[in-house]
Amino acid sequence: MTDIRDAQMVGRTSDGRLVQRPLSGHLTVYINFDMVMSVGHRVTGCAIAVGTIVMVWFLVALAAGDARYATVSWFLRTPIGYLCLFGWTAALWYHYCVGIRHLIWDTGRMYDLPAVDRSRIVILGATAALTVLTWVIALS
């Protein structure tokens, strides 16, 4: 034993032998799709937080008059503006759907793995559907 950390991992079997206990599963176990979705909930939350700046800009410009409103309208119609709007729409609906699942989880329901497998598909499908629907309505 050359490392002090190894000493912390010595255990005894039921017959009294000293053995090296295994490492915890760590990242090889925990990196899975549901973990990515959980991180995604936080990432989209932060992205929407940045998006609120444009929401406030929109409202302030609307209150400030025609000229200011024309500026924000122009920005949102540039390619970057459309990209931001599309990203925020997708992020918003994703955060919305995962948030609903969090509220359901808070009641103690749908915690078992088969339910998580189903809700994951519902969330991804609903996010895509709501994003497409939003843009179909906006552009029609």
What is the contact surface with other proteins in residues (CB under 8 A)? Answer: 42, 45-46, 48-49, 52-53, 55-56, 59-60, 62-64, 66, 69-70, 89, 92, 96, 99-100, 102-103, 106, 134, 137-139
Joined tokens for residue 127: 């996010």
Q: How far is it, in rounded angstroms, from Cα 47 to Cα 92? A: 9
9 or 50: CB nearest other proteins? 50
Please count the residues of the chain. Answer: 140
CA distance 63 to 77: 20
Beta carbon nearer to other proteins, 92 or 123: 92
* Residue 122 backbone class (left: φ over 0; alpha: ψ -120 to 50; beta: rest): alpha
* Rounded least distance, CB 34 to other proteins, Å: 18
Environment class of residue 81 by beta-carbon count within 10 Å: exposed (0-12), middle (13-18) or buried (19+)? middle
The least distance separating other proteins from the CB of residue 29, rounded to whole angstroms, comes to: 20
Whose Cβ is closer to other proteins: residue 14's or residue 107's?
107
Shortest Å distance, C-beta 77 to other proteins:
9
